A and B are shown apart, each in its own frame.
Chain A
Amino acid sequence: MTSTARNPWLLTAWAAGLVSVGAIALAAAWGGWQPVVLLLAAALVPILLLRGVVALGVSRWAATSVLALLLVLTAYLMSARSDTSLRGTVTDSVPLLLTAPQPYALRADLLAPVVLLTGLVALFAGLRAESRTRVGPVAAGVLLYVAAALLTTGRGDPWGILAVLLVVLAVLGWVLLDEHTEPSRRRLLVAGPALVVLVGGLASVALVPARGAFDPRTVVDPPVTVIETASPLPQLGAWAANPDDELLLVSGDAVPLRLVTLDEYDGAQWRAATRYAPFGTAVDTPLTGDRRRTATVEVQFAGLGGSWLPSPGDPIEVSEPDALVDVTTGTLHDPDPDPDTRYVVTGVADEPDPADLVGATVPTSGPALEYLDQPQLSGALAAYADRVTPDGGPYVRALAIEAAVREGRRLSPRAISGSAFWRIERFLLGTEPDDQVGTSEQFATAFAVLARRAGLPTRLVVGFRPGDRQPDGTRVIRGRDALAWPEVYFQGLGWVPFAPTPNDDTFTQGRPQLAEAPDVEPAPTTESAEPVPAAEPPPVARAADAGLGLPSWVLVASGTALVAVPLLVLAVARLVRSLRHRRRGATGAWAEVYDALILAGEPPPAWATAPQVAARADQWFGTSGATEVAARAERAAFGPAGTTVLDRPAAEVREVRRAARATVPRWRRWWWHLDPRVLRR
């Protein structure tokens, strides 16, 4: 009789293991190995110290109090390096953790509260390790695991390995660490299969896709900075007037750069985004399409100035540490601008398949409707808008508006700035010689006003064309590359740029060929910007399509079929064999008994005669029917012609078959009707 003594060190090791799993889960919020080591130390050191001190005879609660104080002291020392006080670190820890960009930086003010939490939880686990219920350490590990799930929005443990470890450790502790008279090996033998089932279930849960996982960041307001900055639209004229001024030096993917995205139009002017949050913390989800491209550029400011940072799309990574971002528009802002700023930025932009554009629709509900807001148009403008907008799909309408805006109007850097209604009305409908002249500001605004009138969600982007390629591979963006262009949001496709500005083919390449292309007659311009060198096809990485492009039920169904079809084939083969035996009468009955012997794992020797085999089977299974079946089969097979043919001994066959099947272990019986072993005979 063996019994596992309640060894306190063993219990401590168990509790330490559980807390360590939780600590590893927490460290996933940082990534890298240093936080893992640090948090493991924060979990293991207090628990082992507690055990050691208690083993020396010190009272448990005194030791815990002292160790808790030591932990607080450690956290204080950690936070002393950062600017905040310990109290500030502790009280602000949750908002700080929930608003800091992810993955977290290795910063003391971010690590200190987590180290403190881990240490205190480890102390609790160590304190409760020797209690009879043995739930305390499990609860401690689970607490850290849940905290990690909250910090990482449930993505810290993608394969469920840590959850499985927690369950396995907890069950092993419960099964093995209690005092029992039963040998541990026997208990493990019982616990093992149960654990395998549990782990399998948990692993299958890990495959469940988490949709709409709760993000605690939505509860905490990120530190949003409201920055009121003048719209850069008036500058377009200045840039166009000095076309050779170098604005930016760029290397990397040759894609248009966005400076500012303007989404609010109040009839007088466009407004830029005002809510900026530190990079990686914002919780808003921008309107995007399904197919997007990623581009990375390195930008060096030359003469641009200002506090906006150009980006090739919605930024996902930027090397400028204190950059702020407005997630809904993807505008980057640098709070303390430097005339020589140099940074690397990666951005994603919508790049829909041109083939999908023609049939594209615009959303009729949701946040995209905000891009239709504008004051009532004047009668003349409204009439013009209705005249140039044909019936047709949204994309066709957008193209028609683009052509109508471009047609017959002149691009001039000296045009009057402004995007108020009167300016647009004069730009579109004016009859004076200089009326239908504008910068790209007026072209883009006119398009936006008409498109919003036509029910297309539209916004304005101020940005730059890819620029001139230099011999060394970098590109120079000059004043003539500055441009404002409108973008229309299509359902599922994202923001699609249009080019209402004359002599601008930045966005017209790769457009689908319409059957009846609207008449586009570029207005002759004398002072327009020089033809932009044809932008080479952008060497950008396309975002990989999700998975193999197959819906998950197809995978599941094919997997099921892969298993089910062979089983079905086996079952049919066995059924046919049984039916054939039934038709053969007494000899078929004997064949069925013979099959039962093989299926029961007792194949009769080849030399044995039927009565011998039957006697052995009867003895083995405790039946009496096999002998009778054998006798009738012999009689039917070898009896002289004219022997009375007896009935098929169905009851005996059933008896022997049932007895044979009962000898097979219960968990293997379902295989009885599928077993292919008899088919070889």
Chain B
Amino acid sequence: MPLTARGWATLVLGTLLVVAGLAWHYPLVAGLGGALVVIVVAELVSVLATSHVEVHREVSPTVVVRHEPCTGTLRLTGRRRRGLVRFDAMDEVDGTLVPVELPETPGATTVAVSYPIPTPRRGLLPVGPVHLRRYGLAGMAATSTETGRVEQVRVLPRRIPLGDLMPGHRHAPAGSDLSLEYGGTDLVGLHEYAMGDDLRRLHWPTSARTGTLMVREDADPAEPQVCVLLDDRVGSYGGPGEPFEEAVELVAALCRVTVDRGYPLQFRTVSGRHGVHVPGSPTRLPQREAHDLDWLLAEIDVAGSGEVTRDLPPGQDIAVVVTGSEADRHELGLLLGDAATRVVAAVDPLPLVAAEQRAGVLLLRGAGSLSLAAAWDEAAAR
């Protein structure tokens, strides 16, 4: 029975009064109890008899950065108050109910209400179903029905500002995985002229041969090969807050900057469960793999075991491992291999030193992703 606590209590009180009034022949006591029972029954009947309200809900955008606005739009047809009964709408976001402020609709019209959907955590956020709660005027009875479908909102890690990467020292010739130290620029490809290309980069011989304007694609030897490692072992993280989230945010920022610049990127997790290779993009157009990386970073989670896989390809310019305060930094430093710039970034709730150089490995410490990013920028500028 959809009776509230108040409904039950009032029903019991009213029934007691009716029984006492009838047994003792006190009509007014029975009448008083009868009035209470009538209130409860009237609300119960009207709550149960209310006709259906049509609800349609949309969420946009479906991919959103954590804490960035995400809006749900609820369209409902039907009167909000019908006799003794009124209804409220609530959306269920990741298990918690988010109230929707509905306008008072006098007639049976369709109204659209927008409401913010909170994105409190990274990952796939189930949104829905919409809960419609009908309740009586005096709060004696209330029912709740679920309607609408469940939609998934992908919440990406928070974007934190990160300036630039350290310069690279060598680059890989086309078709080769090896990266050797070269100087100058290197022609790595040609493409047809498109609006926006720099005219100074026209490759005249090929243009003459083909009859169309062709543009050089040069590789910059200072373009670094970047390898980002994320320590996803549970044991590596400790301390208050969400250190793994901070680590993921820093990793996401590093990957984003790398991909935005068009540098080739190797992303690995220390446990070896995930790995993405984003090839360099001289045109700086986003690669398909970059998209995969975004989604991977949205859903990545800590792994259970403490196994470390050492399958980092050689010849990296910049190798970064992001870890927590509990990890063994020397072991992680060894993971970075022979890269020219080796950085261990540790999310440490109580960092004593922000940055230190130890055995050719730059060790950055910060309480959060923002302070680590600032420390990174400082190190990159040096």
User: B35 contacts A182, CB within 8 Å?
Assistant: no
Q: Which residues of B contact A38 (CB under 8 A)?
A: none
User: B137 contacts A187, CB within 8 Å?
Assistant: yes
Q: Which residues of B contact A1 (CB under 8 A)?
A: 101
User: B104 contacts A182, CB within 8 Å?
Assistant: yes
Task: Name which residue of chain B comes closest to A161, CB basis.
Answer: B28
Given A135-B13, A174-B138, check contact A163 B6 (CB 8 Å).
no
Within 8 A of B (CB), among A164-196: 166-167, 170-171, 174-175, 178, 181-183, 186-187, 190-191, 194
User: A154 contacts B24, CB within 8 Å?
Assistant: yes
User: A208 contacts B27, CB within 8 Å?
Assistant: yes
C-alpha gap A171/B26 in the complex (Å): 22
User: A171 contacts B39, CB within 8 Å?
Assistant: yes
User: B24 contacts A198, CB within 8 Å?
Assistant: no
Q: Tell yes or no: A373 within 8 A of B by CB.
A: no
In the complex, per-residue mask of A121-146: 1 if CB is within 8 Å of any chain B CB, else 0: 00000000000111100110010011
Task: Name which residue of chain B comes closest to A198, CB basis.
Answer: B35
User: A139 contacts B30, CB within 8 Å?
Assistant: no
Task: Name which residue of chain B comes closest to A211, CB basis.
Answer: B25
Which of A150, A181, A208 has the largest number of chain B CB atoms within 10 A? Answer: A181
Within 8 A of A (CB), among B72-86: 81, 83-84, 86
C-alpha gap A570/B29 in the complex (Å): 41
Q: State the B residues within 8 Å of A (CB).
A: 4-6, 9-10, 13, 17, 20, 23-32, 34-36, 38-39, 42, 81, 83-84, 86, 88, 101, 104, 137-140
Q: Which residues of A contact B4 (CB under 8 A)?
A: 133
Given A132-B5, A133-B9, A205-B30, check contact A175 B137 (CB 8 Å).
yes
Q: Tell yes or no: A210 within 8 A of B by CB.
A: yes
Q: Which residues of A contact B23 (CB under 8 A)?
A: 214
Measured CB to CB, the closest approach of chain A to B131, in angstroms, equals 16
| 10 pairs, CB–CB < 8 Å, chain A vs chain B | A133-B6, A135-B13, A138-B36, A154-B28, A163-B32, A174-B137, A174-B139, A175-B138, A206-B27, A214-B25
Q: Which residues of B contact A166 (CB under 8 A)?
A: 32
Top 6 A-B pairs, shortest CB-CB distance: A205-B31, A214-B24, A174-B138, A135-B9, A154-B26, A208-B27
Q: Tell yes or no: A213 within 8 A of B by CB.
A: yes
Measured CB to CB, the closest approach of chain A to B304, in angstroms, equals 43
Q: Tell yes or no: A257 within 8 A of B by CB.
A: no
Measured CB to CB, the closest approach of chain B to A524, in angstroms, equals 59
Task: Name which residue of chain B comes closest to A183, CB basis.
Answer: B104
User: A198 contacts B9, CB within 8 Å?
Assistant: no
Q: Tell yes or no: A160 within 8 A of B by CB.
A: yes
User: A154 contacts B6, CB within 8 Å?
Assistant: no
Q: State the A residues within 8 Å of B (CB).
A: 1, 132-135, 138-139, 142, 145-146, 149-150, 154, 157, 160, 163, 166-167, 170-171, 174-175, 178, 181-183, 186-187, 190-191, 194, 198, 201-202, 205-206, 208, 210-214
Contact of A186 among B38, B81, B140 (CB under 8 A): B81
Interface majority SS (helix, strand, loop, mixed), chain A: helix
Task: Name which residue of chain A comes closest to B102, CB basis.
Answer: A181
Contact of A190 among B17, B35, B137 (CB under 8 A): B137
Given A142-B32, A174-B6, A174-B138, check contact A194 B26 (CB 8 Å).
no
Task: Name which residue of chain B comes closest to A180, CB basis.
Answer: B86
C-alpha gap A150/B25 in the complex (Å): 11
Given A163-B32, A206-B31, check contact A182 B86 (CB 8 Å).
yes
Q: Which residues of A contact B86 (CB under 8 A)?
A: 182
User: A194 contacts B13, CB within 8 Å?
Assistant: no
Which of B23, B27, B34 has the largest number of chain A CB atoms within 10 A? Answer: B27
User: A201 contacts B31, CB within 8 Å?
Assistant: yes
User: A194 contacts B42, CB within 8 Å?
Assistant: yes
User: A149 contacts B31, CB within 8 Å?
Assistant: no
Q: Which residues of B contact A133 (CB under 8 A)?
A: 4-6, 9
Q: Which residues of B contact A181 (CB under 8 A)?
A: 88, 101
Given A142-B13, A154-B26, check contact A167 B138 (CB 8 Å).
no
C-alpha gap A278/B104 in the complex (Å): 66
C-alpha gap A138/B36 in the complex (Å): 10
Q: Which residues of A contact B88 (CB under 8 A)?
A: 181
Task: Name which residue of chain A comes closest to B80, CB basis.
Answer: A182
Given A135-B6, A174-B6, A190-B137, check contact A163 B31 (CB 8 Å).
yes
C-alpha gap A134/B139 in the complex (Å): 10
User: B28 contacts A167, CB within 8 Å?
Assistant: no
Task: Name which residue of chain B comes closest to A191, CB basis.
Answer: B137
Instruction: List 7 extra interface pairs beyond A1-B101, A135-B9, CB under 8 A.
Output: A133-B9, A174-B139, A198-B39, A201-B34, A202-B28, A210-B27, A214-B23
Measured CB to CB, the closest approach of chain A to B99, in angstroms, equals 9
C-alpha gap A186/B81 in the complex (Å): 10
C-alpha gap A201/B27 in the complex (Å): 12
Q: Which residues of A contact B17 (CB under 8 A)?
A: 142, 146
C-alpha gap A194/B46 in the complex (Å): 13
Task: Name which residue of chain B comes closest to A159, CB basis.
Answer: B28
User: A205 contacts B104, CB within 8 Å?
Assistant: no
C-alpha gap A427/B88 in the complex (Å): 96
Q: Which residues of B contact A171 (CB under 8 A)?
A: 39, 138
Task: Name which residue of chain A comes closest to B39, CB basis.
Answer: A171
User: A139 contacts B28, CB within 8 Å?
Assistant: no
Given A202-B35, A213-B25, check contact A190 B83 (CB 8 Å).
yes
Measured CB to CB, the closest approach of chain A to B107, in angstroms, equals 15
Measured CB to CB, the closest approach of chain B to A159, in angstroms, equals 9
Q: Which residues of A contact B27 (CB under 8 A)?
A: 154, 205-206, 208, 210
C-alpha gap A36/B26 in the complex (Å): 22
C-alpha gap A181/B25 in the complex (Å): 43
C-alpha gap A213/B28 in the complex (Å): 11
Q: Which residues of A contact B5 (CB under 8 A)?
A: 132-133
Contact of B25 among A139, A146, A201, A212 (CB under 8 A): A212
User: A145 contacts B32, CB within 8 Å?
Assistant: yes
Q: Which residues of B contact A212 (CB under 8 A)?
A: 25
Task: Name which residue of chain B comes closest to A199, CB basis.
Answer: B35
Measured CB to CB, the closest approach of chain A to B12, in angstroms, equals 9
Measured CB to CB, the closest approach of chain B to A412, in angstroms, equals 56
Q: Which residues of B contact A205 (CB under 8 A)?
A: 27-28, 30-31, 34
Given A186-B104, A194-B42, A194-B84, check contact A138 B10 (CB 8 Å).
yes
Given A133-B5, A213-B24, check contact A146 B35 (CB 8 Å).
no
Q: Which residues of B contact A135 (CB under 8 A)?
A: 6, 9-10, 13
Q: Which residues of A contact B83 (CB under 8 A)?
A: 190
Given A134-B6, A149-B26, check contact A201 B38 (CB 8 Å).
yes
C-alpha gap A202/B6 in the complex (Å): 22
Given A194-B42, A194-B84, check contact A149 B138 (CB 8 Å).
no
Measured CB to CB, the closest approach of chain B to A597, in angstroms, equals 26
Q: Which residues of B contact A194 (CB under 8 A)?
A: 42, 84, 137
Which of A154, A206, A212 has the largest number of chain B CB atoms within 10 A? Answer: A154
C-alpha gap A189/B32 in the complex (Å): 23
Q: Which residues of B contact A150 (CB under 8 A)?
A: 24
Q: Which residues of B contact A213 (CB under 8 A)?
A: 24-26
User: B26 contacts A145, CB within 8 Å?
Assistant: no
Measured CB to CB, the closest approach of chain B to A665, in angstroms, equals 15
C-alpha gap A205/B34 in the complex (Å): 10
C-alpha gap A212/B25 in the complex (Å): 6
C-alpha gap A205/B25 in the complex (Å): 12
C-alpha gap A190/B39 in the complex (Å): 13
Q: Which residues of A contact B138 (CB under 8 A)?
A: 171, 174-175, 191
Measured CB to CB, the closest approach of chain B to A25, in angstroms, equals 10
Task: Name which residue of chain B comes closest to A189, CB basis.
Answer: B81
User: A145 contacts B29, CB within 8 Å?
Assistant: yes
Measured CB to CB, the closest approach of chain A to B18, in angstroms, equals 11
Measured CB to CB, the closest approach of chain B to A28, in angstroms, equals 12
C-alpha gap A133/B38 in the complex (Å): 18
Q: Which residues of A contact B10 (CB under 8 A)?
A: 135, 138
C-alpha gap A157/B21 in the complex (Å): 14
Q: Which residues of B contact A139 (CB under 8 A)?
A: 9, 13
C-alpha gap A208/B138 in the complex (Å): 28
Measured CB to CB, the closest approach of chain B to A86, in angstroms, equals 30
